[in-house]
Amino acid sequence: MGWAKQGLLIPAPPPLGWASSHAALPVVRRREGDGLELYFSSRDSRGRSHVAAAQVAGGAELEEVGYEEAPVIAPGPLGAFDDAGVTSACVVESEGRLYQYYSGWSLGVSVPFYFYVGCAISDDGGATFRKVSAAPVLERDEVDAFLTASPWVLIEDGVWRMWYVSGTGWELADGRPRHRYHIKYAESSDGLRWRRTGHVCIDYRDRDEYAIARPCLLREDGLYRMWFCSRGENYRLGYAESADGLDWERQDEPGGLEPSPDGWDSEMIAYPCVFDRGGTRYLLYNGNGYGETGIGYAVCESGT
């Protein structure tokens, strides 16, 4: 599976009055016709991420056509699990209601940060979202003792299935705390109360790999396909396949996208979002600086 890079789609910062830097973690929702709603995260002057929205026109070449000026989801009040920022994860629809899952950030003392999964819902087609709770929907517990983040949710036969980032601990690297996290699995009957067993879907490949992030899934022809990013020194695109969504075979080489020799994505490939439209498969992704250089896209060279 090869990808042909098409360049930047969303600049960083985007043209929004409150956004000072970054455009990261793209999420796509289909609009009428073949237009798209693109959710992503940008940071304000205090360094706090907010979830923003842009409209993307139809056609083979993706092109932004407008932005919502106000954030779609903003940080929570002082002391809340998301008072230091909110970053986009995924959007699903059920019975006319949109569920937007996000990662809520708070700052730490012994470690730099904590984050957990939150959820906001929309009953007006995405015009507005409201948080379902001041608390996370995936908090720390005996299965996930350190952190949770970046869920991807599919609804199948009434079962809500989630693949999410789970922290396995912190370690000192060059005298500074460094997180370790991989990808686990959970289920729900309503999208809000989740059952966790600790099942690991994508584990560390070796000791040098310490972060496996941002799963994105498609199911086609009875096969689950997952794109993610993983890192030792810098993030790279990863890929895995599964017959049941539980047991996965990593095939990182078919991920098929490497950093450019120079420019905005010369150091890392991060936070993939893969979707199909009009017989073409698209990949949205971030390059250098975890979204500091914006959101770009690539087209699958073999279609879908």
Instruction: Map out the domains of the chain as residue ranges.
Output: 3-300
The CA distances from residue 232 to 204, 249, 286, in Å, are 10, 20, 17
301 versus 86: which is more confidently predicted? 86
Query: How far apart are alpha carbons 297 and 266 in whole angstroms?
Result: 14
Query: How far apart are alpha carbons 184 and 189 in whole angstroms?
Result: 18
Contact between residue 64 and residue 54 where contact means Cβ atoms under 8 Å apart: yes
Nearest to 229 by CA among 168, 290, 177, 187: 290
The CA distances from residue 148 to 17, 20, 161, 180, 303, in Å, are 30, 26, 15, 11, 34
Mean pLDDT of 125-149: 97
Contact between residue 34 and residue 278 where contact means Cβ atoms under 8 Å apart: yes
At 205, list the tokens. 């490949």
Query: Can you say how many angstroms the Cα of residue 132 is from the centroid of all Cα atoms in its chain?
Result: 19
Nearest to 106 by CA among 89, 133, 82: 82
What are the pLDDT digits (tens) for 247-257?
Answer: 999 998 767 79
What are the pLDDT digits (tens) for 232-252?
Answer: 989 999 999 999 999 999 998
Q: Tally Cβ neighbours within 10 Å of residue 158.
A: 8
Q: Which residue has the tokens 């993307």?
A: 56
What are the pLDDT digits (tens) for 105-127?
Answer: 999 999 999 999 999 999 999 99
Nearest to 273 by CA among 264, 265, 285: 285
- Please say if the pLDDT value at position 304 is more than 70: no
Contact between residue 73 and residue 91 where contact means Cβ atoms under 8 Å apart: no
Q: Strand (E) positions, 32-84?
A: 36-43, 49-56, 64-67
Query: How far apart are alpha carbons 174 and 115 in whole angstroms?
Result: 23
Query: How far apart are alpha carbons 190 and 174 in whole angstroms?
Result: 43
Rounded to whole angstroms, the maximal C-alpha distance in the chain is 53
- Please say if the pLDDT value at position 20 is more than 60: yes
Burial class (CB in 10 A: 0-12, 13-18, 19+), 230: buried
Mean pLDDT in the chain?
95
Mean pLDDT of 52-61: 86
- Please say if the pLDDT value at position 33 is more than 80: no
Percent of the chain with pLDDT over 90: 90
Mean pLDDT of 35-58: 95
pLDDT at 293: 98
Backbone angles phi, psi at 156, to 5 degrees: -135, 115
Mean pLDDT of 264-270: 97
30 versus 197: which is more confidently predicted? 197
CATH class label, 3-300: mainly beta
- Please say if the pLDDT value at position 303 is more than 60: no
Contact between residue 259 and residue 268 where contact means Cβ atoms under 8 Å apart: yes
